[in-house]
Structure 1
Amino acid sequence: MTENSKKSEILNVAVDDGYAQTKLVGEHPETGEIVQEIIRSSVRQGRSGLSSFSGGGIDQYETEEGDIFTVSNEIESENTQFDGFHTSQLNRVLVNHALVKCGYGGKSVNLVTGLPVADYFLDDERDIEHIDAKTSNLKLGVSGPDGRAMPKVEDVRVGCQAVAAWFDYVLDDNLDQRHDATGSIAIVDIGGRTTDVAVVVGGNAIDHSRSGTENIGVLDVYTEVRKAIHREFKIKEKFPLDKLDAAVRTGTIRLWNKEQDISELVETVVSEHEGKIAREVERRLGSAANLDAVVFVGGGSALFTTIAGYFPNGHMPEDPEFSNAKGLYKFIRVKG
């Protein structure tokens, strides 16, 4: 491949644009290696009121509509838990931010992304209006006020997030089949705001009677941990998303310049929410005895490490947080 043809190449990139995290999988524009990155969905409209000594860590973008947004782990994020998130300017900024951070600035990309089950389907049919709205939103422009090169989104394809994770379960990284695709497989995608259940039958159909979306996810854990910290330490301070995430994952938080052990507090909150999610899954699937597998994916699955044990045929991939993004990328490689 010549240098000129490489520059003009349109790259396939998959972005799982969640309420808590943005996950990206794609071919690196320079090295050709597979890029796999997680970026916190920490964004708010307007300027942050912060400035960086080094010029890094605080990124501001302007949308085609003329609004300014700040993306940074150092700010308190706007609440992304609203119904219109996937067709919002917040979402578009986060997707473009992820592309820039992963080296796609100035590059042409074919973008494949997803919607939760309840947004992708309307009754038993694809929700074309919602799918088209997300597609149109991601084709609108975002610019960097500092003049940085932004990605050029040539095309957008929108899939169902949980079904994308089915692709990742069935196919390995070489696109060879690693699990039987002809049976009935339930994908449970525990995300930031929602938990999606999608029962894939025979590799080509969705059982809508057992599929759907519940409004419970990782951000609910963060909210309850924050409240518990306030009660335990008698404080009212707000915490950025990355600090809450670190507190939940490590069981410690730095207050008054000292590491505070909050492991019991975190364990209690995580256990309560894991039980709630497991019961919601049971309401849809029953004992899951007539399914080949119940596959747990998403950021919540990485947090609720024992949830697959609720079902004898429960399964958790080695890297559940990336299952949606990897599945979307595998889908576009298979389908073209």
Structure 2
Amino acid sequence: MQIINDLTNLPPIWAPDEETHHVFMDDGYDQMKVGYWADVDGKRTLVAFKYRTSVQMGRHLTAVMGSETGIYIIDGSSYTVSEYVENDATRNKRFAHSDFKIALVHHGLKVAGFGGKNVHIHTTLPISHFFRDGLPDADHINKVKTKFKAEAASADGEQLALIVGHTIQSEAVAAFIAYMLRNGHENVEPIPGAIGVCDIGGNTTDLTVLVPGQQVMINHDLSSSREVGVLNIKDDLKKRIQHRFGFDKIPSATISQALDVKKLTFLKQEHDIGEDVKMSKVDTAKRVLNVIDEILGDQVLHLMLFCGGGTECLKTELAEEYPTFESSDFPEFDNLLGLVRANEAA
């Protein structure tokens, strides 16, 4: 998988005239991750990119040249998708089948070049949203699939993708599939004991325990979700910056950038906020580990695998606090890669 950071330089779709294209999206509260098969130097290559989950109802940005790119009309209402707007999307289960989500999804598909094309989309849900009483929550899953068929248009007049199919996986299960099929393995290997998958996302930490048997099974008594994730880091960092510099309002985009570069620039002056970032991460890492203790208690695991965008952000802090910390090289893309592998195995 090749990760593309410059969204203005995404490679073209592989076999653009195919009847239906498979697109993989790990659609989270803080970041949306998109994967598709692209033509990279004449080779079919899985590429992935990400963008902020920032969407606001209404039309809030106008390009200086008059374009309305980034504005989507979903079921008759307008939504602006940009890291420079304040996110209106609520942090709860309803987000998965909201107009906000559909605007964000179509934005990613449009950026990747799928406008006017048929796509089969593969997405994820936290385990507590995917399952109910040990079974897939058919009502919730159907609500999500139905909403993805909503009438959508781009305000700039460009065609949007037509979603003709939709597959949904539990996030932690997708990450487990990616982990077990690593290094070119074609089949899921037997596991020697219980494995925990801790998926730290934008707003949720999803803990899933998988146990061996004739098939790998989910232990629902030891699996659950809690509302803690990357947004907690940003909320904490925002409070620290407000207190330190006496600010009242700070744009979300400024907080995101400050978290990434550990610096805050205003009025042409650069301020080091490395210690503020570190403490915000440490506090959130401790919250995550408290979640693990709360859900698992003294349960013995063969392995705890950390994944998700929160793991990418908290790698150092988690490794310092959790002696057996283990993750992939790019944990924020584990769920997406699992979706790809699951589709290949289907």
Whether 1:293 and 2:303 are equivalent positions in the alignment is: yes
Whether 1:208 and 2:194 are equivalent positions in the alignment is: no
Q: Within 5 Å, which residues of 2 pair with 1:86-235? A: 86-172=96-182, 174-176=184-186, 180-181=190-191, 183-202=193-212, 203-235=215-247
| Aligned equivalents of 1:314, 1:155: Cα separation in 2 | 37
For 2:339, give the aligned amino acid: L
CA gap 1:318/1:216 in 2 versus in 1, 3 angstroms: same
Q: Deviations over 1:122-155 (max 9, x none)?
A: 1222111001111111122311121112111110
CA gap 1:303/1:192 in 2 versus in 1, 3 angstroms: same
For 2:241, give the aligned amino acid: I
2:33 corresponds in structure 1 to 23
CA gap 1:19/1:57 in 2 versus in 1, 3 angstroms: farther
SS of match in other structure, 1:315: coil
| Aligned equivalents of 2:189, 2:328: Cα separation in 1 | 12
Q: Deviations over 1:15-68 (max 9, x none)?
A: 0110000001121379642120101111111000x32235679510011x2000
Deviation at 1:180, TM superposition (A): 4.6
CA gap 1:57/1:254 in 2 versus in 1, 3 angstroms: farther
SS of match in other structure, 1:7: coil
2:331 alignment partner, one of 291, 312, 320: 320
CA gap 1:226/1:58 in 2 versus in 1, 3 angstroms: farther
Contact 2:69-2:154 at 8 Å conserved across structures: no
Contact 1:57-1:72 at 8 Å conserved across structures: no
1:69 corresponds in structure 2 to 79
Contact 1:27-1:33 at 8 Å conserved across structures: yes
Contact 1:193-1:219 at 8 Å conserved across structures: yes
Deviation at 1:174, TM superposition (A): 4.1
CA gap 1:41/1:313 in 2 versus in 1, 3 angstroms: same
Q: Which runs of 4+ in 1 moved over 6 A?
A: none
Deviation at 1:204, TM superposition (A): 2.8
Whether 1:256 and 2:257 are equivalent positions in the alignment is: no
For 1:91, give the aligned amino acid: K
CA gap 1:125/1:178 in 2 versus in 1, 3 angstroms: closer
Gaps of 5+ in 2: 1-14
2:63 corresponds in structure 1 to 52
Deviation at 1:232, TM superposition (A): 0.6
1:245 alignment partner, one of 256, 259, 267: 256
2:22 corresponds in structure 1 to 12
Q: Deviations over 1:259-317 (max 9, x none)?
A: 111111111111111111112112223455x3221111111101111314544443111
2:290 corresponds in structure 1 to 279
Q: Deviations over 1:81-113 (max 9, x none)?
A: 133101101011111111111121122111111
Contact 2:194-2:301 at 8 Å conserved across structures: yes
Deviation at 1:114, TM superposition (A): 1.1
| Aligned equivalents of 2:94, 2:226: Cα separation in 1 | 16
What CA RMSD, in Å, does the superposition of the two structures yield over aligned residues? Answer: 2.1
For 1:329, give the aligned amino acid: V
For 2:113, give the aligned amino acid: G
Instruction: Give the structure-1-normalised TM-score.
Output: 0.91
| Aligned equivalents of 2:105, 2:89: Cα separation in 1 | 16
| Aligned equivalents of 2:227, 2:340: Cα separation in 1 | 26
Contact 2:56-2:87 at 8 Å conserved across structures: yes
2:6 corresponds in structure 1 to none
Gaps of 5+ in 1: none
More contact order relative to length (CA 8 Å, sep ≥ 6): 1
1:270 corresponds in structure 2 to 281
Aligned residues with identical type, % of pairs: 28
Q: Which moved more, 1:79-88 or 1:38-47?
A: 79-88
SS of match in other structure, 2:221: coil
Contact 1:183-1:292 at 8 Å conserved across structures: yes
Whether 1:305 and 2:299 are equivalent positions in the alignment is: no
Deviation at 1:179, TM superposition (A): 6.0
Contact 1:296-1:308 at 8 Å conserved across structures: no
